[in-house]
Amino acid sequence: MASVRRLVIDVLKPHEPPLLEFTERVSEIDTVESVSASLIELDQEVQNIKITFEGNDIDFDTIREVVEQLGGTVHSVDQVACGEYVVEERRTLQDD
């Protein structure tokens, strides 16, 4: 099976821990080399965030477990890149 090199997920999380701490904590997962998190929507109870993980063999089950330990819920998997390297998206004729 091809290894997962990039994973983008949509997460609903409480306000605590703050986004900085939340991102630091998920970046400590062994199979993760780097993480980027962006706040998408904020309301009185929760934050909706997009998290991008990169690594050589990302373990989604561990990521979901850590997110849930931090009080979050994975809403969707929005992008996955597998194989020897990450293929960067390029505009095509269909995108016009």
Residue that wins the pLDDT comparison between 95 and 67: 67
State how far the Cα of 68 lies from the Cα of 2, in Å rounded to an integer: 26
Q: What is the pLDDT of residues 28-47, one digit of tens each?
A: 999 999 999 999 999 999 99
Amino acid letter, residue 20 = L
**Is pLDDT of 1 > 80?**
no
pLDDT at 84: 85
Mind giving me the DSSP string for 21-33? HHHHHHHTSTT-S
Tokens found for residue 3 = 């290894």
| 77 DSSP β-pair partners | 9
Model pLDDT, residue 87: 79
Where in the chain are the domains? 4-95
Q: Tell me which fold the domain 4-95 belongs to.
A: Alpha-Beta Plaits (3.30.70)
Q: Which residues pair with 4 in a beta bridge?
A: 82
pLDDT digits (tens, 9 = 90+) for 32-87: 999 999 999 999 999 999 999 999 999 999 999 999 999 999 999 999 999 888 87
Q: How far apart are CA 1 and CA 22, in angstroms?
A: 30
pLDDT of residue 4: 95
